[in-house]
Amino acid sequence: MKKSPVVTIVAIGIGAALFFVLGRFVAIPSPVPNTNISTQYGLLAFMAALFGPLAGLLIGLIGHALIDFSYGWGIWWSWVIASAVFGGLVGLVARKIRLSDGEFGKKDLLAFVLAVVLGHAVAWFAIAPVLDIVIYAEPANKVFIQGLFAGAANIVTTLIIGLLLCYAYAAAKPKKGSLKEEK
């Protein structure tokens, strides 16, 4: 089902705001320096699956930039870009998921899991550490440890939170053709 551009823009604004709140106030400290266990990626994956790759990319970009800005250390662009790439990739890979129709079956679940694992692997095992090295001249061993931990933790939290959101949304949405006219 094609979404109205207005609906997508509103979803981007709401999604970025919720991403910010979850990332800023519901982050769980980790044993790896400057790395949190994040809860906001489950929401991002759900929104990307529902509204598409552009919405996912912009929610990740805007939401993560706001989180960094709010801490006062400046915007850490390598990780902001990684969040945007994650959202965009999930939106691309999850295009066939039928959440808009109130469906979330086995094929949808597999597509969602694939999108989340692929998106986090690309974002945190490759993009964030490489950009940390290129942009900020960070030591490779440090940033790859951060990326591996963040990616693994994000996969787990995203699958738990994202799948719960997908199932809840699909269950609450009327199924296509489920409404019958009374005679």
Residue 32 backbone phi and psi in degrees, to 5: -90, 125
Asked if residues 102 and 173 have their Cβ atoms less than 8 Å apart, the reply is yes
Does domain 5-172 fall into CATH 3.40.718.10?
A: no
Q: What's the farthest any 2 CA atoms get from each other in the chain?
A: 72
Rounded CA separation 38/109 (Å): 21
* Token pair of 165 as six digits: 């959101």
Q: Name the nearest CA neighbour of 167 among 121, 87, 98.
A: 98
Question: Strand 28-29 vs strand 36-37: parallel, antiparallel, or unpaired?
Answer: antiparallel
Give the pLDDT of residue 100: 85
Structural domain spans, the chain: 5-172
Give the pLDDT of residue 3: 79
Give the pLDDT of residue 177: 66
Give the pLDDT of residue 45: 98
Beta strand segments in the chain, E: 28-29, 36-37
- Give the residue ranges of the chain where pLDDT is below 50: none
CB neighbour list of residue 23: distance below 8 Å, 6 or more residues apart? 38, 39, 40, 63, 64, 67
Cβ-based burial of 38 (10 A; exposed 0-12, middle 13-18, buried ≥19): buried
* Token pair of 130 as six digits: 């490489």
Give the pLDDT of residue 102: 87
Give the pLDDT of residue 137: 97
